[in-house]
């Protein structure tokens, strides 16, 4: 599946594309390894089963960027200075030479101007509930990422406590590799490994409580961190969006009697389910029907509305 080349953005140079997002450095950057800031642009592209699907989901980029920005703000909140530092830079940032790096009109609402960090090669996954690949491993081995769990758990059950299950970030196009905490110590050192774990569990605890207060369950999520110029561990990438997290309806989870009823999702599960019923995983996936596209867009919009309702 090929998708449209990234946009030409005035003042910016495209440097990298993930499945659904594109990364830009300031056009006058001489050393791409050390730009002061980056532009992270979210597209309307949707991916599943390692494929970028067609068509995109209208407004997905805006909806998920809006949610990320809301969460960065919630987590950085003034709670006695214990906020979580993040990589956002204001969009009227003035460089030493007085040039302001602005977010181009073409991507307003679906782009984040961020400070360039020394990114850590760890995908910091936190699981509060048993589902997805965790449920598959549990059924086979009674563990999740090698961590033993009590017997008798069912798909969608809440875990006895949130689990930190790091993965080693693979190069683009390859799968991240689940690793033990001890392996993460070998990769980034004991102090940083512990800081990544503690920050991830604390953010999950806060976000899970906020989600619950809005009638939602944050089943699992993943974070990325980097060190800023002052050596502060800083929350990066997108955060707590439908692409990085699973959200369920709390009432449906409490009253449902089947996994499908209990895990009424606010992410792209509708897309995954339709593909599972309409594609044999061979060759390119079929185009998504308009109804699936609209229902997925509605899920993204509803999640944003529910979470940000005061
Ligand atoms: N966020 C962030 C970030 C930062 N603040 N500093 C340095 N590097 C990154 C960075 C590098 N790759 N990515 C993943 C990524 C994101 C968006 C689009 C893509 F194509 C790929 C993130």
**Are 222 and 123 contacting, i.e. CB atoms less than 8 angstroms apart?**
yes
CA of 116 relative to ligand 1 center, distance in Å: 8
Question: What was the pLDDT predicted at 238?
Answer: 97
CB atoms within 10 A of CB 73: 12
Q: What is the Cα–Cα distance from 15 to 6, expressed in whole angstroms?
A: 10
CA of 237 relative to ligand 1 center, distance in Å: 6
In CATH terms, the fold of domain 12-115 is Phosphorylase Kinase; domain 1 (3.30.200)
Q: In the chain, where does the domain assigned CATH 3.30.470.20 lie?
A: 118-259
Phi, psi of 218 (to 5 degrees): -95, 100
DSSP 68: H
Q: pLDDT tens digits for 25-73?
A: 999 988 766 778 999 999 999 999 999 999 999 999 999 999 999 999 9
Nearest Cα residue to 291 out of 278, 274, 306: 274
Question: What was the pLDDT predicted at 21?
Answer: 96
Above 0.90 for ipTM, yes or no?
A: yes
CA of 283 relative to ligand 1 center, distance in Å: 29
Q: In the chain, where does the domain assigned CATH 3.30.200.20 lie?
A: 12-115
Question: What was the pLDDT predicted at 102?
Answer: 86
Partners of 137 in the beta sheet? none
Q: Which atom of ligand 1 is nearest to the CA of 114?
A: 5
Q: Which atom of ligand 1 is nearest to the CA of 115?
A: 5
Q: What is the Cα–Cα distance from 102 to 55, expressed in whole angstroms?
A: 29
CA of 255 relative to ligand 1 center, distance in Å: 39
Residues with CB under 6 A from ligand 1: 16-18, 21-23, 38, 40, 87, 114-117, 119, 226, 236-237
In CATH terms, the fold of domain 118-259 is D-amino Acid Aminotransferase; Chain A, domain 1 (3.30.470)
**Are 45 and 285 contacting, i.e. CB atoms less than 8 angstroms apart?**
no
Question: What was the pLDDT predicted at 79?
Answer: 55
Instruction: Give the closest residue (by CA) to ligand 1 atom 5.
Output: 116
Q: Which atom of ligand 1 is nearest to the CA of 116?
A: 6
Question: What was the pLDDT predicted at 267?
Answer: 84
| Across 163-173, average pLDDT | 90
Q: Which atom of ligand 1 is nearest to the CA of 17?
A: 20
Instruction: Give the closest residue (by CA) to ligand 1 atom 2.
Output: 237
Q: pLDDT tens digits for 94-110?
A: 665 555 668 999 999 99
CA of 90 relative to ligand 1 center, distance in Å: 17
CA of 46 relative to ligand 1 center, distance in Å: 18
CA of 227 relative to ligand 1 center, distance in Å: 13
Question: What was the pLDDT predicted at 1?
Answer: 47
- Please enumerate in sequence order all residues whose Cβ is within 8 A of that of 125, keeping only pairs 6 or more positions apart, or say none: 164, 165, 166, 167, 200, 220, 221, 222
- Chain mean pLDDT for the chain: 92
Q: What is the Cα–Cα distance from 83 to 89, expressed in whole angstroms?
A: 16
Q: pLDDT tens digits for 125-146?
A: 999 999 999 999 999 999 999 9
């Amino acid at each position: 599946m090929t998708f449209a080349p990234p946009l030409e953005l005035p003042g910016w140079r495209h440097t990298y594309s993930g499945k659904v997002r594109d990364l830009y450095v300031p056009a006058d950057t001489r050393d791409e390894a050390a730009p002061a800031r980056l532009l992270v642009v979210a597209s309307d592209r949707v991916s599943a089963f390692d494929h970028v699907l067609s068509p995109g989901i209208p407004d997905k980029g805006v909806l998920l960027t809006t949610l990320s920005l809301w969460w960065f703000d919630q987590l950085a909140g003034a709670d006695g200075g214990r906020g979580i530092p993040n990589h956002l830079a204001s969009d009227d940032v003035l460089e030493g030479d007085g040039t302001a790096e602005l977010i181009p009109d073409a991507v307003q609402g679906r782009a984040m101007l961020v400070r360039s960090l020394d990114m850590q090669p760890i995908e910091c996954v936190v699981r509060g509930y048993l589902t997805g690949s965790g449920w598959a491993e549990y059924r086979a081995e009674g563990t999740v990422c090698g961590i033993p769990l009590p017997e008798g758990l069912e798909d969608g059950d809440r875990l006895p406590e949130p689990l930190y299950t790091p993965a080693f970030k693979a190069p683009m196009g390859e799968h991240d590799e689940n690793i033990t905490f001890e392996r993460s110590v070998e990769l980034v050192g004991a102090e940083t490994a512990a800081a990544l774990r503690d920050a991830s569990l604390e953010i999950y605890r806060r976000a899970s409580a906020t989600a619950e207060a809005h009638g939602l369950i944050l089943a699992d999520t993943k974070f990325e961190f980097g060190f800023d110029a002052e050596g502060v561990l800083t929350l990066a990438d997108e955060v707590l969006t439908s692409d990085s997290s699973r959200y369920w309806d709390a009432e449906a989870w409490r009253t449902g009697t089947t996994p499908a009823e209990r895990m009424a999702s606010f992410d792209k599960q509708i897309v995954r389910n339709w593909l599972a019923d309409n594609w044999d995983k061979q060759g390119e996936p079929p185009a998504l029907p308009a109804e699936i596209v609209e229902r997925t867009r509605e899920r993204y919009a509803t999640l944003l509305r529910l979470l940000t309702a005061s």
